[in-house]
Amino acid sequence: MITLFPELLESFLAAGVIGRAVKENKVSVRLINPRDFTSDKHRTVDDRPFGGGPGMVMKAEPLIAAIQAAKVALPKARTVYLSPQGAPLKQQMVRELCEVFDTDGIVLIAGRYEGIDERVITEFVDTEISIGDFVLSGGEVAAMVVIDAVSRLIPGVLGHPLSAAEDSFGEDGLLDHPHYTRPEVLGQNAVPAVLTSGDHEAIARWRRKMALARTQERRSDLLAKARLTAADKLVLKQLNEAQNRNKSE
């Protein structure tokens, strides 16, 4: 990863499941600072924008030198630039990046200031990715999102091997169902009875129904692409009918 602030990544790469994956060499992240590829006295990595205007632009040469250093270690790597102008990140692309990471490696570029010189993008970037429609103060947090999402798909990184596939946006493209743990009664709220019934088929049906209901209520855009069984479609129809009954009351 190319960044002017490598220290931002250190606790992230040391903590939790990512930390363990790094320790066990399932994930390896090398941090390369363009400032280490400057040759002037002030180690300059930014400059004023051609055409004028406020703010600064990341200079091309130190950034290119940093990318080339990364490419010496990973000659076949995919170069990814994180910016609001990129293609929206989806779980499908995370799965693809996990494959690329495994076979060729990935060079992540985190920008700072108002952006990087456009010629670095045209000449060195293979894929420009956005994690959402907002502006950050730099690409590092977005790069951490990519590292996190990709790492948890690597075999053995998550404790429970089924979790990665079963979570929200697993294979079926639905939101996750609600989760509960002890105590069974919390203030006024008891855990849904089905979860303590011991009836594992009923539990699976309830969870699927909750996943469908939440996806329909909160993200109906996801339902169009979701992998739905005939039983799922029946559940959605029943949920709609129940909703319409409530409306007409």
What are the catalytic residues?
84, 114, 152, 167
Distance between CA 135 and CA 40 in Å, rounded? Answer: 31
Q: Does 151 sit near ligand 9WO (CB under 6 A)?
A: no
Q: Which of 247, 215, 248, 219 shows the shortest CA–CA distance to 233?
A: 215
Taking the complex as a whole, how short is the minimal distance between the CB of residue 142 and ligand 9WO, in angstroms? Answer: 4
Distance between CA 210 and CA 187 in Å, rounded? Answer: 22
72 — phi, psi (to 5°)? -65, -45
Tokens of 162: 């089924």
Site for ligand 9WO in 11-70 (CB under 6 A): none
Count CB neighbours of 124 within 10 A.
18
Taking the complex as a whole, how short is the minimal distance between the CB of residue 228 and ligand 9WO, in angstroms? Answer: 30
Look at strands 46-47 and 57-58 and give their pairing.
antiparallel
Taking the complex as a whole, how short is the minimal distance between the CB of residue 53 and ligand 9WO, in angstroms? Answer: 10
93 — phi, psi (to 5°)? -70, -35
Taking the complex as a whole, how short is the minimal distance between the CB of residue 153 and ligand 9WO, in angstroms? Answer: 19
Q: Which of 137, 121, 135 shows the shortest CA–CA distance to 63?
A: 121
Q: Does 3 sit near ligand 9WO (CB under 6 A)?
A: no
Considering only 69-77, 138-146, 209-217, 231-239, which stretch makes contact with ligand 9WO by CB under 6 A? Answer: 138-146
Q: Does 135 sit near ligand 9WO (CB under 6 A)?
A: yes
Distance between CA 143 and CA 3 in Å, rounded? Answer: 10
Site for ligand 9WO in 73-132 (CB under 6 A): 82-84, 111, 114-115, 130-132
Binder of ligand 9WO out of 142, 149, 175, 226 (CB under 6 A): 142
Q: Does 6 sit near ligand 9WO (CB under 6 A)?
A: no
Q: Does 173 sit near ligand 9WO (CB under 6 A)?
A: no
3-state secondary structure of 127: strand
* Number of residues in contact with ligand 9WO under rule CB under 6 A: 14
Distance between CA 146 and CA 129 in Å, rounded? Answer: 9
Binding site for ligand 9WO (CB under 6 A): 82-84, 111, 114-115, 130-132, 135-136, 138-139, 142
